[in-house]
Homo-oligomer: A and B are copies of this chain.
Amino acid sequence: MLVNDLPRFEILDDAALGELDRGWRRIVSELGVDFLHDEALAILGDAGQEVDGQLVRFDPDWILEQVAKAPSEFDLQARNPERTVHLGGNTMVFSAVYGCPFVREGLERRDATYDDFQNLVRLAQSFPQLDSPGGTICEPNDRPLDSRHLDMVYALTTLSDKPFMGSVTSGPNAEDTIAMAEMVFGAESLEQTPAVLSLINVNSPLRYDDRMLAALVEYAKANQALVITPFLLMGAMSPVSVPATLAQQVGEALAGIALVQTIRPGCPVVFGSFLSNTDMQSGSPSFGTPESAVGLLCTGQLARHYGLPFRSGGGLTSSQTVDAQAAYEAAMTLWPTFLAGANFVMHAAGWLESGLVSCYEKFIVDVELLRMLHAVFEPLRIDEETLAYGAHQEVGQGGHFLGAAHTLERFRECFYRPLLSSTENYERWSRNGGNDAAARASDIWRRTLDEYEQPPMDAGLQEELRAFVDRRRKELGD
């Protein structure tokens, strides 16, 4: 968890914030939002909002009253208390890629399996730059569809001791997640301080679907944290305009957050953003774009304006392989992620090919980027000691600092030490095989898996989780 005490980079003035505020109010009050879930409709209707079939038109001030009930900051428990994270304020929490049907390993691209899932959880556990493995780090396609959420939660809770994300594919799957979390944390502790953070995507534009809403309702009732995220690719799910998309994003997110607060006042929520654009030449989604960078910076400002922790960013790219494009697009998203101070960063490691692929080598590239940015966003201490006048006196004019006493005392810790990057001179690099960053990353993730140690867990608890998975799988008919 990074405490980002550098300033926020804010590009919206008050007039712009006012226009955007006007924009979302008009959308939710005049156009309204679909909720494809009877209980949600009943809750919103009972709360005085105008329900017309599946459409709800909102009073924007009522929305803000509900939003004000959400905590501006909260803790998310990890089973290892030292890994419990804080969401909100100046903290930044990073989790791995989420939701990919494929994996890439070197030059091979294939359907993801449960072995991959477990490996990627182990990698997320191994690097301190990741505060959470996330949730669906890849789709375990070799496991039965109806019960694979059990396998995922089992791997997330046993192979890692960091906070994790819950299943959102249905209400019952959410209930299973909560049941397993209760075994790990105890029911009372779990309700007091959430241990499951779950991603509720809006079926944008202006629609929440039944499965996501069913999961939302279950998690809200259990006081577990929710990331409410409009899913916005401009040109597809929103207009081809960043301001229009920001207004839509605020309206969609706040409407869902208001629902959560109506179900369970004070339930921890995160204002989610997943905002990029369509490549209008190919019609494909496009990631790591300038528009997404701008949208991200604005989203941070808006979330702070409404007093909510926010989720955005990650190492996003459209590249098909771990090349220069993959890296500069990831940086094009990660720099604004840090500048905006995103509180929860999904897809922070491993994302490739517009999110279709969890890539082992890209995972390592992203960890290097995170390590570097963690160093950049560390406040600089400027005082007599760091001015190091003694070193200047020692070396004088035209000298060399490599052998200076000041240097010798500090050379191990004075600078960032790369995980992946090479500064070898050309001859040495060539002699060592002339491996590019992707090839070196391949060595690094394999070595990391070799060195991985499973975090300890009480044998009885592990057995209890195992038995639950087996029983529920049988009940689900798999």
Which positions in A face B, CB cutoff 8 Å? 6-7, 9-12, 15-16, 19-20, 22-23, 26-27, 31-34, 55, 109, 203, 205-207, 234-244, 247-248, 277-286, 288-291, 293-294, 298, 318-332, 335-336, 339, 353-354, 356, 365, 368-369, 372-373, 375-376, 379-384, 386-389, 391-393, 395-402, 404, 406-407, 410-412, 414-417, 420-426, 429-430, 434, 436-438, 441
Contacts and interface: CB of A to CB of B under 8 A. Distances in A.
Contact of A423 (B282, B298, B424): B282
A312 B291 CA distance: 25
Contacts of A55: 397
Contact of A324 (B326, B395, B412): B326
A344 B279 CA distance: 32
A181 to B, nearest CB: 32
B243 A376 contact: no
A326 B434 CA distance: 14
A336 to B, nearest CB: 8
Contact of A322 (B33, B239, B288, B324): B324
Contacts of A241: 386-388, 391, 406, 410, 414
Contact of A437 (B109, B279, B323, B365): B323
Nearest to A10: B7
A10 B235 CA distance: 35
Contacts of A244: 386-389, 391-392
User: Which 3 A-B pairs give the minimum distances between C-beta atoms?
Assistant: A331-B331, A290-B375, A327-B327
A321 B423 contact: no
A404 B289 CA distance: 22
Contacts of A12: 380, 382
Contacts of A291: 375, 415-416
A235 B426 contact: no
B320 A397 contact: no
Q: Report copies per complex.
A: 2
B396 A31 contact: yes
Contacts of A294: 376, 380
A206 B319 contact: no
A16 B327 contact: no
Contacts of A279: 415, 423
16 contacts: A7-B10, A19-B383, A34-B398, A109-B426, A235-B415, A280-B411, A286-B423, A319-B422, A320-B434, A324-B324, A324-B441, A328-B328, A328-B372, A331-B335, A332-B372, A339-B339
B240 A319 contact: no
> Most chain-B Cβ atoms within 10 A of its Cβ — which of A6, A234, A386, A397?
A397
A88 to B, nearest CB: 22
Contacts of A15: 382
Given A327-B331, A368-B328, A423-B279, A240 B285 contact: no
Given A205-B392, A436-B321, A424 B328 contact: no
Contacts of A329: 421
B239 A365 contact: no
A192 to B, nearest CB: 37
A7 B11 CA distance: 7
A27 B243 contact: no
A188 to B, nearest CB: 40
Contacts of A319: 421-422, 437
A99 B473 CA distance: 66
A135 to B, nearest CB: 24
